Amino acid sequence: MAVATILIVDDEPTNLSLLMHLLRPDYQVRAANSGESALRAAAGEPRPDLVLLDVMMPGMDGYTALWRLRANPATAEIPVIFLTALVDDLDEERGLQLGAADYISKPIKPTVLLARVRVQLEAKQARDWMKDQNVILEAEVARRMVENDLTQQVTIRALAHLAETRDPETGNHILRTQGYVLQLAHGLREHPRFAATLDERYIDLLARSAPLHDIGKVGIPDYVLLKPGKLTAEEWAIMQTHARLGSDAIEEAERDIEMPLPFLAVAKEIAHWHHEKWDGSGYPDRLAGESIPIAARLMALADVFDAVISARAYKPAPSFAETRDIIAAGRGVHFDPDICDAFLGGLDDFVAIATRYQEEA
């Protein structure tokens, strides 16, 4: 264990000599003969583990020096024992109120001094140990939080890719739609209709949840999901069930955990209702207007935009200008008018996302 460093502060050379004689056998001792020099020494290296501070000194007295030590973050936690010939209880009370750890009256009694020094150093050692343990614990908690966060994101992405593998035409669809949803959410943060919901926390939940919007496709038979041509009415009815299958799967997962996770609640809303339409003609529940959750309304536009711009075996990809007109035609019919306006007003940003995650040749 390192030898403790003690700073003694007294304007009387005789007192400094006595204190150094008493303390040097067991401690590393430094000395200062004024309040000003004490402040410099206390802030220097090696930082003292304890300060023995005379109260009555010319210029800066001990009370002022203590106040200055406490005001400096570098010295604020160094314990200070006052040394004084004053015997008034009010003087002692004043020192303790300023943050002194102890008060020793002059003339110094060696056994009393050494005992109180030892007590203060042991207390400081215990505090330092606890602080180190807290730092270690906080670092471990932070590391585990990051690890858990990454695990959650990887798991979500893995599940989303699992659904994506059932539909080989989608490619980077989950990356693009996640980007679109975030772009829309950030663009609507200050809008009166959305500001109360779209805070940073909710937008983070959207980012985590968006990739799960089509997770229900894992439950759609191949002859429907992979059919190259137009679906029959019966097949279309089967395809529509992917919305409920997705939200049901997330709800089943929720039952296996002890506490609700907000991102799963948002994920269920997106999976279940991202095919609803503003005018009530969507599926699976024919919700309309404000009854459609905000998360699902955002995903509805993101999903349709990506579907329109993507080339398929049965259609070429239209230009972005043509796509803009298609989305604009859905304002107030398929899409929430304000969400549609946010998209149309920031089209270049959505084009940039689409370009960044375009399909490989």
Measuring CA to CA, which residue among 262, 358, 273 is closest to residue 317? 358
Instruction: Provide mean pLDDT across the span 324-338.
Output: 96
Structural domain spans, the chain: 5-136, 166-356
Same fold flag, 5-136 and 166-356: no
Helices then strands, counting H and E runs in the chain, come out as: 14, 5
Q: Would residue 58 be called left, alpha or beta, if left means φ above 0 and alpha means ψ between -120 and 50 degrees? A: beta
Instruction: Provide mean pLDDT across the span 217-235.
Output: 88
pTM of the model: 0.61
Q: What pLDDT score does 97 carry? A: 81
Q: What is the pLDDT of residues 54-77, one digit of tens each?
A: 988 998 998 999 999 999 999 999
Residue 361 pLDDT > 50: no
Q: How far apart are CA 318 and CA 37, in angstroms?
A: 78
Q: What is the pLDDT of residues 274-285, one digit of tens each?
A: 999 999 999 999
Report CA-CA distances (Å) from 201 to 2, 189, 198, 262: 47, 12, 8, 10
3.30.70.3270, 3.40.50.1370, 3.40.50.1100, 3.40.50.2300: CATH of 5-136: 3.40.50.2300
Instruction: Provide mean pLDDT across the span 188-207.
Output: 94
Fold of 166-356: Hypothetical protein af1432 (1.10.3210)
Q: What pLDDT score does 194 carry? A: 97
199 — pLDDT class (breaks 50, 70, 90): very high
